[in-house]
Amino acid sequence: MGFTEEIKRRKTFGIVSHPDAGKTTLTEKLLLFGGAIQTAGAVKSNKIKKSATSDFMEIERQRGISVATSVMGFEYKGKQINILDTPGHKDFQEDTFRTLTAVDSAIVVIDVANGVESQTEKLVEVCRMRKTPMIVFINKMDREGKESFDLLDEIEQKLGLTACPMSWPIGMGQRFKGVYDISEKKMVLFNPHGKRDENEDVVEITDLDDDRLEKLVGEEAAEELREETNMIEEVYPEFDLEAYANGDLNPVFFGSAINNFGVKELLDCFIKIAPTPKPRETEERVVVPTEEKFTGFVFKIHANMDPKHRDRIAFVRVCSGMFKRNTNYFHVRNAKKMKFSNPTTFMASKKEVVDSAYPGDIVGLYDSGNFKIGDTLTEGETLHFKGIPSFSPEMFRIVHNADPMKAKQLAKGLSQLMDEGVAQMFVKEFGGTKIIGTVGALQFEVIQYRLEHEYGAKVEYQPVNLHKACWVTYTDDEQFKDFEKRRKRDIATDKYGHTVFMAESAWQLRTVQENYPDLQFHFKDDF
């Protein structure tokens, strides 16, 4: 198969949702359809990740949440599907934001009972900013929840999306009979906990006035379905591929992931309409996937957390050209050539060493500390990919070394964990106090555990009353000097030496913004 055909075969997407909406369950069912796993529960039990799991991953098991982005690939109907299952928990949203820079489209999972929740709003906002095409999957239809039209209203009002129902549920909870596939004009009947395969209960009903409808779902449900589909035709737009690709139209599907229901319809539609790898913007130019020369960027760094192997893996999204094993590539930030003898891809149940990878693929590179998030690899050209931000943290702690004999280990550990994007560290200009900022409290536990078990260093935290950390840029030198002089105690630097204002309260931040109109205060660092 030729290079261009290989690119067209690839569909790389992220699954995003509020915690407990059923994201990991949906991922698992997609993998089951792709034949990538054979048993349900493999995702949650971490059987799907062949990398060693140390005690630290107990956090995932005890709390029943994903704390790290999983990368999984499988083949389905001639397409290479790459799924990035992201953490839904708000404490790990920064990892999710960065993962969304590596995908070409997204599936948003919404719980029928809870509707659109706060975390979903934040994640969808990031997708909208990037014009990422999104499909919405309304999950848990076998439970009682909000009315379908109310959910569509929430999708439009809270998320700012344009809903386009592609399937429609027949009842809900105990009355749930199945879904009607609007685009394919066929009905899929619900069989709780039934195994679904190609010969499942699919009935072609091209005309909803067909008498068979009453026999299949009952008179009341049949009449309700007719009325509701008429309303859909009048109120909601028809599917338009171009509008979807531009992020202006959002197909909506209904189903129950835990019962493996509605998932096949979602996947079949996804492989038809989801975009193939798209061009990527850099500060220098636009990179097109079909270019001959390889380019890629690091969007995530993850330590195996295996005490026997202190290895870290840098996840690289291939943007153009073909990545080849044992080939010299140019690390732009370090301005040096690097060769990778054992790059891996993640084929669901196993990690495999690969000889080559195409645009859209995610490659894992073993890293001894050379990479930082946002780093670029090329065949010699200097490029900097855009839009891989670090967000302003919302929780802060002062860090104290609890074992003075391990100062070197602590410095190394903090430096490497900050490179991974676990958190951000700011050093106060006045007094040199080290402050760690995260987007969630659970991250502090992660850092403490990993410093002790991976680096042999112990830290103690001290609470600090801070509202926001804002990066500062300016056009007026005099104004900045005055700001620096008057606010010396509130100024710090980040790991790159950028000036950061550590505001104690929203009122203080507003006051400073008013007093210094020629200073710009940024809430993410990709300005």
Give domain status of residue 436, yes or no: yes
CATH number, domain of 495, equals 3.30.70.3280
Amino acid 92: pLDDT? 54
- Tell me, yes or no, whether 124 and 262 share the same domain: yes
Give domain status of residue 527, yes or no: no
**Model confidence at 522: pLDDT above 80:** yes
Q: What are the Cα distances from residue 325, in Å, to 301, 351, 389, 456?
A: 19, 15, 29, 34
- Tell me, yes or no, whether 323 and 217 share the same domain: no
**Model confidence at 497: pLDDT above 90:** no
- Tell me, yes or no, whether 484 and 423 share the same domain: yes
Give domain status of residue 1, yes or no: no
Amino acid 305: pLDDT? 43
- Tell me, yes or no, whether 163 and 48 share the same domain: yes
Domain stop point among 240, 273, 306? 273
Work out the burial of residue 112: count CB atoms within 10 Å of its CB; fewer than 13 is exposed, 13-18 middle, 19 or more buried: buried
Least confident range of 132-141, 201-210, 306-315, 494-503:
306-315
Closest to 87 (Cα-Cα) out of 67, 73, 102 = 67
Amino acid 373: pLDDT? 84
Give the CA dihedral 222, 223, 225, 226, nearest 10 degrees: 120
**Model confidence at 67: pLDDT above 70:** no
Least confident range of 91-105, 173-187, 483-497:
91-105
Report pLDDT digits (tens) over 11-37.
999 888 877 777 778 888 887 776 655
- Tell me, yes or no, whether 95 and 50 share the same domain: yes
- Tell me, yes or no, whether 224 and 300 share the same domain: no
Amino acid 41: pLDDT? 46
Tell which wins on pLDDT, 245 or 175.
245
Give domain status of residue 112, yes or no: yes
**Average pLDDT over the chain, rounded to an integer:** 82
Amino acid 187: pLDDT? 78
Report pLDDT digits (tens) over 322-352.
999 999 999 999 899 999 988 887 654 456 7
- Tell me, yes or no, whether 195 and 300 share the same domain: no
DSSP per-residue codes, 91-134: GGHHHHHHHGGG-SEEEEEEETTTBS-HHHHHHHHHHHHTT--E
Provide mean pLDDT across the span 155-182: 89
Amino acid 216: pLDDT? 79
Give domain status of residue 371, yes or no: yes
Amino acid 119: pLDDT? 77
**Model confidence at 308: pLDDT above 60:** no
pLDDT band at 59 (very low <50, low <70, confident <90, very high): very low
Domain stop point among 273, 307, 329? 273
pLDDT band at 277 (very low <50, low <70, confident <90, very high): very high
Q: How many residues does the chain have?
A: 527
- Tell me, yes or no, whether 236 and 107 share the same domain: yes
Provide mean pLDDT across the span 181-192: 77
Provide mean pLDDT across the span 411-422: 82
Provide mean pLDDT across the span 170-193: 79
Tell which wins on pLDDT, 496 or 134.
134
d(Cα 109, Cα 115) in Å, to the nearest integer?
10
Give domain status of residue 147, yes or no: yes
CB 417 within 8 A of CB 372: no
- Tell me, yes or no, whether 266 and 297 share the same domain: no
Q: Which of 82-86, 144-148, 452-456 has the highest mean pLDDT?
A: 144-148
Burial track 413-441 (b if 16+ CB lie within 10 A, e otherwise): bbebbbbbbbbbbbebbeeebbbbbbbbe
Q: How many domains does the chain have?
A: 3
Chain-centroid distance of CA 512 in Å reads 34
pLDDT band at 400 (very low <50, low <70, confident <90, very high): very high
**Model confidence at 390: pLDDT above 80:** no
Looking from the CA of 11 toward its CB, the CA atoms found within 13 Å total 23
Give domain status of residue 212, yes or no: yes
Provide mean pLDDT across the span 443-448: 85
Least confident range of 119-123, 187-191, 324-328, 507-511:
187-191
Q: What are the Cα distances from residue 65, in Å, to 21, 23, 87, 90?
A: 11, 10, 7, 11
Three-point CA angle 121, 126, 127, nearest 5°: 95
**Model confidence at 42: pLDDT above 60:** no
- Tell me, yes or no, whether 237 and 216 share the same domain: yes
Amino acid 51: pLDDT? 35
Domain stop point among 310, 345, 378? 378
CB 371 within 8 A of CB 299: no
Token pair 């676990």 is found at: 422
Query: Which element (helix H / strand E) includes 412?
Result: helix 407-420
- Tell me, yes or no, whether 423 and 358 share the same domain: no
Using a pLDDT cut of 70, give the percent of the chain over it: 84
- Strands 202-204 and 79-85, how do they pair? unpaired
- Residue 327's domain comprises 280-378
Give domain status of residue 386, yes or no: no
- Tell me, yes or no, whether 132 and 246 share the same domain: yes
Report pLDDT digits (tens) over 342-385.
888 765 445 678 889 999 999 988 887 788 888 999 999 999 88
Tell which wins on pLDDT, 111 or 85.
111
CATH number, domain of 238, equals 3.40.50.300
Provide mean pLDDT across the span 59-73: 54
